[in-house]
């Protein structure tokens, strides 16, 4: 069991302990941290506290991260579009409609189910339901993901995400015609206080930065490339809505009755990172899926 110790500093005085801990590592969800608190894996000044405990300056916090539980997810022989694989990492092109890891309501047919049938050596850092998963993309987003095959690789790739050295570029179709060619959206993202199932730009959210550039303009839509500097939940979808150009087909953040696509028009086309063992920079590019190309052809023909 790994232990992490920290001292609460001035900027966190009065904040909830679950929020402070969740901000330490973007791979830890707030609900996961709350579960650790309830199970006594987090001590403040040597005592267990509830998730809503308000921190005080100089509080001594000890986090005992539980060892991963034995895996009980069934392997499934689902074809995988693998772009790269060695003993440490695997890069896969996830299709639209596939969930990345099991969750209530989606215990089968996920990328993790497929990975377990493909290889037995996945890192266990993320526990029972997310073996090897370093980062995620949404069910209806297609594109490239990196998978860790051991804990050394997992820790390296997570550190690269935290240090913002991973290249992640997405292609998207958004509503509206963006007049400028380039832009940067620097706006914090957190849970939408009016809808806890959605994310939003909120004052006390986590830092979130998205760079975009226009690839092509149509009569009522724009084809853009978005590059992530951070990796918050639904970041591109939330940021593009925030500046008035929501993603086409987005059932949560976009307008209804849009382009004929089941889900948002978003593809993770470019992924680059440093190999965790050799240090070599590696970059991969996956072409747009056919349904995305058909949308672009339709928009071009309707000019």
The predicted pLDDT at position 164 comes to 93
Residue with tokens 């940067």: 184
Average pLDDT value for residue range 290-300 = 95
Q: Parallel, antiparallel, or unpaired for β 189-192 and 60-65?
A: unpaired
Q: Which CATH class is domain 2-65?
A: alpha beta
Domain spans of the chain?
2-65, 132-302
Segment 148-171, tens digit of pLDDT? 999 899 989 999 998 999 999 999
pLDDT digits (tens, 9 = 90+) for 184-197: 999 999 988 888 77
Which are the catalytic amino acids? 138
The two three-digit tokens of residue 13, written as one number: 């005085």
CA–CA separation, 124 and 149 (whole Å) = 9
- pLDDT for 300 equals 95
Structural class in CATH, domain 132-302:
alpha beta
pLDDT tens for residues 61-85?
A: 999 987 765 556 788 999 999 999 9
Biggest alpha carbon–alpha carbon distance for the chain = 67
The residues facing 268 across adjacent strands are 143, 170
CA dihedral 218, 221, 224, 228 (to 10 degrees): 170
Q: How many Å separate Cα 72 from the centre of its chain?
A: 23
The answer, yes or no, to whether residue 117 has pLDDT greater than 60, is: yes
């Amino acid at each position: 069991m790994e232990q992490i110790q920290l001292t609460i500093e001035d900027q966190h005085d009065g904040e909830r302990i679950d929020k402070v801990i969740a901000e330490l590592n973007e791979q830890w969800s707030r609900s996961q941290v709350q579960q650790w608190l309830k199970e006594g894996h987090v001590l403040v000044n040597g005592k267990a506290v509830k998730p809503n405990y308000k921190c005080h300056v100089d509080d001594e916090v000890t986090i005992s991260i539980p060892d991963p539980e034995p895996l009980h997810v069934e392997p499934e022989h689902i074809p995988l579009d693998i772009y790269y694989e060695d003993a440490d990492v695997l890069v896969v092109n996830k299709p639209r409609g596939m969930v990345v890891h099991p969750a209530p309501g989606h215990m089968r047919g996920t990328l993790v189910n497929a990975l377990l049938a493909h290889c037995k050596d996945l890192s266990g850092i993320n526990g029972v339901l997310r073996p090897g998963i370093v980062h995620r993309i949404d069910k209806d987003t297609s594109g490239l993901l990196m998978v860790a095959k051991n804990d050394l690789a997992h820790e390296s790739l997570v550190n690269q995400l935290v240090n913002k050295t991973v290249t992640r570029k997405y292609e998207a179709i958004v509503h509206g015609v963006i007049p400028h060619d380039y832009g940067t959206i620097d706006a914090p993202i957190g849970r939408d206080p009016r809808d806890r199932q959605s994310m939003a730009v909120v004052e006390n959210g986590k830092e979130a930065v998205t760079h975009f550039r226009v690839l092509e303009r149509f009569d009522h839509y724009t084809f853009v490339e978005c590059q992530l500097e951070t990796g918050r939940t639904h970041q591109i979808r939330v940021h593009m809505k925030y500046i008035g150009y929501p993603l086409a087909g987005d059932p949560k953040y976009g307008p209804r009755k849009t382009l004929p696509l089941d889900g948002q028009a978003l593809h993770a086309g470019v992924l680059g990172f440093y190999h965790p063992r050799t240090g070599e920079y590696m970059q991969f590019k996956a072409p747009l899926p056919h349904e995305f190309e058909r949308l672009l052809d339709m928009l071009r023909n309707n000019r």
